[in-house]
Amino acid sequence: MSNVFISHASVDKPFVLRLAVGLLAKGIPVWLDKWSITLGDSLLDAIYDGLERSGFVVVVVSDAAIRSGWVNRELNAALAREEQTGRRFVIPIRIDDTNMPLKVADRLYANFATRGFSEALEDLARVLVSKGAADMAVPPEREVLPLRFTRPVDLDAAVLEASWKHMRRRHPDLVLSPDQIALVEDEDYGSLRRSLHHRIDGIAQDPDYTPEVERHLKDMNDLAARLEVVLRAGVAELLNRGKEIDAVLWFAKIIRARALYRLWTTRMVAGGLGQDWKIAGLHDRTDARDFFGTDELALVDLWRDGDRNGYFILWLPRRDLADLYRHGRPQRYYDGSPTMMSEHIYVYPQMLAEHLCHPLKTREPVWDLSEAMIGLH
C-alpha cells in the first residue's frame, strides 16, 4: 500500500488540488486522478488500480460528490475492500453542508466546511500520520512533486522544499523525472491559457482577425505549452543536481514570467496580468534591475574554461565582480568557495533557462562553477 487515494467529484477539483498539495507537504503521498491518468488510459482500470494500491481512501463529501456516479463507485469499492481486509481505511471529509452518506454516516469526519482549511488539514494529516500514512512504501515511480504558484511568478517555497525533503527521505537515490512534477494550475494563469484557447477556437469571428494575428496566437499557445515542459525539466534538473531551492525558485520565476508576458500579448488589451513581466526577458539593465530587485548588476560572459565559444550571457551582482573590473581580463568565477547565494539566484537559473529555451543555440550549463570563467560582456 503506497498512497492516500482522494475520491472526489470533478467540480471539487480546486479544493482537492489544495488538499493534495497540503498532504504532500506533510509527507503523506497522494494518488490523484489528475496527476496519474493520461489520454488513452482506461479510467476504470486506472482508478481501481489506484484504489487497490492505496493504503487509505479520503472521500471528499459534497453535494456534487453525492450526485457523482464515480464517487459512489469508488466508495463502494473501498468499503468492499475494508470488509475483505478487516481494516478501516476510508476517511470522509466534508466541504459543504451536505449530510454524510449513510454508508459512512457513523464515522467521524474531517470538517472543512465550518473550519479553516489549515486547521482542518492539520487534523486530517495528524490522523493519517498516526495510522502510518507517512511511512507507506511508495514506489519511486509513484512519487509526485507539486509545483504551486502562490503569486503570479512565485512558487510556494515551503511546499516545494517540504515535499522534496519527504520524497528524498523515502528514496535517497531518487532521480526525479519531469513527468513526476505536477503543475498545480493557479486561477490567473489558467484563465489566460483558457482565454487564448477561446480566441484560437473563435478566430474566424475575431474582430481583430488577420493572418498575422492568427499566427501569433498559435505561436504563443505553442510557446506557453513548451515553457511548461521547460519548467518541469528545469526543476527536475536542478533538484537532481542537488542545487539549492533558491535556484529552483528563481528559475521558475524566469520561465513563468516569460509565459505570462507571452500570454498577455494574445489578449490585445491594455493592462492586466502579464504585461509587466516583459522584464523576464532580461534584455537590458532596466529589465534585470526590475526583475532581480537590485540596481547593482553587470552583464558578463560565463563559459567553461577552455571553451569560450559556448558562453552564456548573464547578469551578476557587481559585488562579485570587483576583481574583474579591476583587472579587466577574464578570470575564474571563483576559486572553489561559493560566492554567497549568487550562483543560486543568478547563475544557475539564467544558464538553465537559456539552455532549455534555446537548446540549439547554447551548450550544456557549467554545473561545476570551479571550472567556469567569466569576462565582461
* Whole-prediction pTM: 0.91
| Cα–Cα dist 366/305, whole Å | 10
**Where does the chain hold its CATH 3.40.50.10140 domain(s)?**
3-139
Helix (H/G/I), strand (E/B), else coil: 145: strand
**3-139, what's its fold?**
Rossmann fold (3.40.50)
What is the sign of the dihedral through the CA atoms of 169, 23, 146 and 151? negative
Contact between 51 and 81 (Cβ < 8 Å): yes
Start-to-end Cα distance in the chain: 56
Least Cα distance to 24 among 233, 248, 180 occurs for 180
pLDDT digits (tens), the chain, 377 positions? 568 999 999 999 999 999 999 999 999 999 888 787 677 767 677 777 777 878 899 999 999 999 888 888 888 888 988 888 889 899 999 999 999 888 888 999 999 999 999 999 999 999 999 999 888 888 898 899 999 999 899 999 999 999 999 999 999 999 999 999 999 988 889 988 999 999 999 999 988 889 998 999 999 999 999 999 999 999 999 999 999 999 999 999 999 999 999 998 887 555 567 788 999 999 999 999 999 999 899 999 999 998 888 899 999 998 888 878 887 888 888 755 545 468 899 999 999 999 999 988 888 999 999 899 999 88
